[in-house]
Amino acid sequence: MASFLQLLFLTVSIHTISITALSSTNNTGICSSNNTIFDPSTHKLVSQCSDHTFCSAPINGMCIPRLCRRDEFPFGYGPSEAPPPLCPQGFFCPDDGSGCLPLVSVGAPCEPNRDEQCSPPLDWQDLASFQNYNGSICLKSTCMCVKVWLSSLMHCVLRQVTCRYANITLGQNCIVDNTTYTDTGPNGEQYMFTVTRDNCRSPQFYCDPGSSACQRAKAVGVACQLDSECEERNCNSAKVCVEPPETPLRVAPWQWGLTIGSILAAMVVICILLTLIHRRHRYARYKELQEYYHDQIGYVSSISAPSYQWAHQERT
């Protein structure tokens, strides 16, 4: 057991050392592009050249400045550094930035997790979804199994990553591609994260790993085992398909009705209140005017009444 652990430790250390040696920057100087690998834990391309350069030849090449970039803001370039150009429509920039290449046709090799390197199918509008790029997907091929000579053993190898159309429907054979990413936490603990992708038509179907056939994806609320089984690609810890946390809030029709009804009711109540207040003011003003005229009439009659009496007395 101890020797096994020792061996394991040694293997891990050698692996770590080789990755570290490869990933250190080597701006000028000799390199070999056949030493360029994908880091097995992060799946990032690691070469003997820096983030600004690529290796020009498989053996005894030179690290020369990159000719293209795949991202708007490429990794390793400062704000003042001019990055290489993006590729025009119908072309892609490979991970090492060695120059734009035309899109890859279905069945031809592509770089892992680079669905946009594949040329789209004719009916790309029907097949496009969040699980692919314009209906194309870059996946590992099925196991290619060969019978080992003069024995009953089968030797299986995973063929290289190739472009596929996400066009497989219910019950047909499909390909499952698991990619495990490993990251180290602050205390040195290892986190594993597996992304499962397939070439079934999405989001209607998913590839069942047991039968390798496309099955109908499960709606929200149905029991599940894996994220990929759900239409929303989210199976929670209680093993039920749920909407992912980033789903925008959907307002139910009754909530719309209640909100609009409350606003209308508030407007009607305000109108009624204003009418009542106005009517009360008008009544108060009417009362005031009425009192004024009443007083005026009273005053006028109190002046005119004695003069009439006086005139009456004059005549007699």
Ligand X SMILES: *[C@@H]1O[C@H](CO)[C@@H](O)[C@H](O)[C@H]1NC(C)=O
* Sites of contact with ligand X (CB under 6 A): 21, 24, 26, 29-32, 34-35, 48, 59, 106, 120, 124, 134, 165, 167-169, 172, 176, 178, 194, 196, 209, 226
Q: Is 44 or 285 the residue whose CB approaches ligand X more closely?
A: 44
Smallest distance, Å, CB 229 to ligand X? 10
Least distance CB 20 / ligand X (angstroms): 9
Q: How far is the CB of 21 from ligand X (least distance, A)?
A: 6
Task: Select 45 or 226, whichever has its Cβ closest to ligand X.
Answer: 226
- Smallest distance, ligand X to C-beta of residue 213, A: 12
Q: Which is nearer to ligand X, 208 or 243 (CB)?
A: 208
Residue 15 CB, nearest approach to ligand X (Å) = 14
Q: Which is nearer to ligand X, 77 or 212 (CB)?
A: 212
48/117 with CB nearer ligand X: 48
Whose CA is closest to 134, among 171, 175, 101, 92? 92
Give the residue with the Cβ less far from ligand X, 37 or 67.
37
| DSSP assignments along the chain, one per residue | -HHHHHHHHHHHHHHHHHHHHHHS---SSEE-GGG-EE-TTT--EE-SS-TTEEE-SSSSEEEEE-S--SSSS-TT--TTSPPPPPPPTTEE--TT----EEPBPTTSB--TT-GGGBPPPTTHHHH--TTSBTTEEEEEPPEEEEEPTTSS-EEEEEPPEEEEES-B-TTSB--EEEEEEEEE-TTS-EEEEEEEEE-B-TTTEEEETTTTEEEEPBPTTSB-SSGGGBTTS-B-TTSBB---TTPPPPPPHHHHHHHHHHHHHHHHHHHHHHHHHHHHHHHHHHHHHHHHHHHHHHHHHHHHHHHHHHHHHHH-
Residue 266 carries which side chain, given as an amino acid letter? A
Query: Residue 277 Cβ, how far from ligand X at the closest point, in Å?
Result: 59
Shortest spacing between CB 261 and ligand X, in angstroms: 41
Which residue lies nearer to ligand X by CB, 29 or 85?
Answer: 29
